[in-house]
Amino acid sequence: MTEIDYKGSCFCGKIEFHIEGKPLMNVFCHCPGCSLGVGVSPVHCLVVPDNNFKVTKGEEYVTIFDGTGSLRFGKCSECGAGIFQYPEGAGYR
């Protein structure tokens, strides 16, 4: 897979993030945990190592929600936009 350098934000702009490096996977997930946490199926997941994902602005607006099992979701506490998701302790987002 090609290396990426991507900057993004939540809907309201309070959170900004930067992703760089080579993704581990680029998949559509149909599992119940992802579907329930996001509200749709399938869920597009661009999976990168934890150290390749950085919140560059607004860390204080990131709220972590528990999903099913060990799945965690990082969302903006102001606008509700999903920023990332990960299985607890997996080492990737």
Per-residue confidence (pLDDT) for residue 18, from 0 to 100: 98
At 26, the pLDDT band (50, 70, 90 cuts) reads: very high
pTM surpassing 0.85?
yes
Which helix (DSSP H) or strand (DSSP E) does residue 43 occupy? Answer: strand 43-47
d(CA 56, CA 32): 30
d(CA 78, CA 47): 25
Most confident of 23-27, 34-38, 64-68: 23-27
Beta bridge partners of 20: 5
